[in-house]
A and B are shown apart, each in its own frame.
Chain A
Amino acid sequence: MRGSLICSMFSLVMAHIVNAESVSFLSCPIARDTGPDSDVCFFTEYQGREIALIPRTPYNRPELKHKILVEGELIPTKTVCGGVGFKGSLSILPELSPECDEIRPHDGSPAGKRNNLFHRMPEKHRERAFALMERAKSDPSASLEAAIYDPDPTPEPQPPFFDQHLSIYFSFNQVKSSGPELIQLLELIRYANAANETILLKAFQGKSKLDSGEILTEKPTMAEQRAQQMVNTLTGLGVSSERIKVTTIDAFQTPSGIDDWKQRRVEFTLSLSPIEENIYDN
């Protein structure tokens, strides 16, 4: 029984490895209309296939008039936006590419879903919103009551405290972070403040090897820019500069064409251990 379970798990892992196809390329995004009551979705054409452009985090969607750097894995078992599923990083290149400007009209497939903010809310908030909607049928004034609330506060971190680690990833040549990652960072800061811990911050920049063999190199100041943006964030949120230790890694790792986007990151570590000078090689 136990043996067959391990075999099954092994098969699943192997299937994933076999199915996973890494890609790294530059191309024009294409928008596809999904119907009158829904947003567009994005895909691109690469090596004769349509590949869905699914952002790693919300609100990092492709832009027409700009090329996009696509780095990640294809998921052939999944169809999104009429294309092969994709998981990884999307980077919008800042320079204009006027030729990237195609919107495919809605042809019935895929049919978009109407976006409803209530579906993204915690269950308790959603129940309250639906109750208000019910009330508004007989009492229109209920339509002005707050439906969207701040999230319920999470409990203050309590001892015993442990080491914590967080990595925030960036698009190519960008310092902007995603909303979900900033929320994680806010939680990390709360934890650090409660534990009175020092935050070790290590910023990186990267190179990306495309499938064509071409290598894209980030600006040589990106690690520093990322570190600075994060230090500004930490100090602006009340972390004293004495409790922040910064290391920037200007050296580029050799890109392999697989998961190169993970080089573009800032690592945060909360350590209960005493801090050693030059803990990281520079």
Chain B
Amino acid sequence: MKNMKTLFLKALLLSQALLVSLMTVADTEDYSSDAQWWSPGEERVFPQYSEYKNTSGRLGIINLNGPINTAEHPFFQALGSNGRGCVSCHQPSDAMSITPETALQRWKETNGKDPLFAAFDGSDCPTLDQSKPSSHSLLLKKGLFRIGMPWPPMPFNGKPVAPEFTIEVIRDPTGCNTDPVWGLNSEKPTVSVYRRPRPVINVDHLLEMPHGVPPYNKFFFNDSSLLPKDPETGNFVSQQLMADGRGLTPKLQALDAAQTHLELMAGLSKEQLQQIEAFERQLFAAQSFDAVAGDLTGDTTPPGLGPDALVKAPRGRLGNNPLNKIFGDFSMWENAVNQQEFKASVARGANIFKERRFYIKDVGAYNDKGLGNPFKRSCGAGCHNTLVMGMDLSPGFMDLGLNNWPWQTTRSDLPLFKITCHANAKPQSYLGRVIMTHDPGRALITGKCIDVGGTMTQQMRGLAARAPYFAGGAAANLRELVDFYDRRFNINYTEQEKIDLVNFMRTL
């Protein structure tokens, strides 16, 4: 009986995949900014398949279970007291995240009146003059929203945590952390950090518990404590949804977002939460067309490219093996010549990503989880090992050096905090007990010194549609992203290797 059910599900998936592959893009060829922007509350049809233009080509989104009338769907409704809906910050054209270019376009079109620029988190600080673009500089330049984290830390279970460290504001360019109403010393002590919205695509992959890596489908690799559980089902959760792991499930994330980003104090109904989760789980997206390589779908392209690969591929699998190669086999493009040189470059990039080892060294909450310091691996065999997705399968929060000094010293636009760990706490493994950071990351949830700067690795799909990269928007484009890794880990990529990696990632 179970086999019959599995067969039926497989048949259903195949028929849906076939339907998608047969669909044309004729009805989605309007790439004007009006067509690209989805306003909350407007009635449109979110189709079963759609494409959106970006600088490298087009992003394809499969809405697996069929078209949705947005007027009837809580993801698209303007539920927030500030006029926002989920879609405000999760735009289809931006791989269900939002880019600074889109925000800037919206500012120009609405003179800054769009709910996207809500004072609460769409500005650098609510107390600033909201009519000025400069008050929204982090959103307009880096696509960052203000995240106000309670101090002391208060995880989602509502039980306050006694932090192992003190936090001090050293620099406050937005003014929010020293603000008498919104700051660390206010009546409601808050630490303001600034982060990119994570893309709401391929969520079904993010939610799957890891397979084949026992016992880490039940335990944190980092400290061998049990993974948290979904309070609704009692099942362990993957922790892959959010940068700091605070929203354990799509429903809890939606609740958190409703109460903060939408300023909807009443929250969301059970039905609304179910609809939002179902919608998020049925979106599969990847770059579908590249301006140079052409169509990224079908039998003549590597199987891991295009959104259909996300529908078909098994969830929650280690891809760092000789068969899967993280994003599948690219050999069909290896010997492309002449005008096909770009494809050969993509294939080389895939190989560098999978094979080129370097010393992964001094990464807090990573090298210290037993891997050793250094750990000599490639990008794909190290932290980006999940089949067709590229995040870390055994959920890993890590301090890559994007939040903490000395690796990140160029962010004069972000607040700077001094963390001082208590003498009896386990120190951050490679920075010790005094840490300068722009975002304490996971430590604002756990209160642990070893977690300062820790951020969950991200999926790598739809990259061309959603620059800038990293949680704080540190890399403006894919080249800056590669340069960061090259500098941080002293890899010494050649210029050609860097070009190949960029070309590879833009096709994902």
Mark A residues whose CB is within 8 Å of B: 31, 33, 36-40, 42, 58-66, 92, 94-96, 103, 115-118, 129, 132-133, 136, 140-151, 175-179, 182-183, 186, 229, 232-233, 236-237
Contact = CB atoms under 8 A, between A and B. Distances in A.
A95 B425 CA distance: 10
Interface residues of B, number: 59
Given A117-B320, A232-B225, 8 more contacts: A58-B370, A65-B373, A103-B374, A116-B321, A143-B323, A148-B213, A179-B215, A237-B226
A182 B224 CA distance: 8
B168 interface: no
Given A140-B329, A141-B303, A182 B427 contact: no
Contacts of B304: 143-144
A107 to B, nearest CB: 16
Question: Is chain B's binding surface mostly helix, strand, loop or mixed?
Answer: loop
Question: Is chain A's binding surface mostly helix, strand, loop or mixed?
Answer: loop
13 contacts: A62-B372, A63-B373, A117-B320, A143-B329, A144-B309, A144-B314, A144-B324, A144-B387, A145-B314, A148-B321, A149-B212, A176-B223, A232-B225
Contact of A182 (B219, B322, B387, B432): B219
Interface in B335-381: 355, 357, 359, 361-362, 367-377, 381
A39 B376 contact: yes
A176 B212 contact: no
B225 A38 contact: no
Nearest to A177: B224
Interface in B243-271: none
A147 B371 CA distance: 23
B426 interface: yes
B427 A143 contact: no
A103 B490 CA distance: 14
A274 B309 CA distance: 57
B325 interface: yes
Contacts of A176: 223-224, 370
Given A40-B372, A144-B303, A145-B314, A96 B212 contact: no
A182 B225 CA distance: 10
B279 interface: no
Given A38-B376, A233-B226, A118 B322 contact: yes
A175 B426 CA distance: 12
Contacts of A143: 303-304, 323-325, 328-329
Chain A CB within 10 Å — which of B214, B219, B318, B371 has the most? B219
A33 to B, nearest CB: 7
B504 interface: no
Contacts of A151: 212, 214
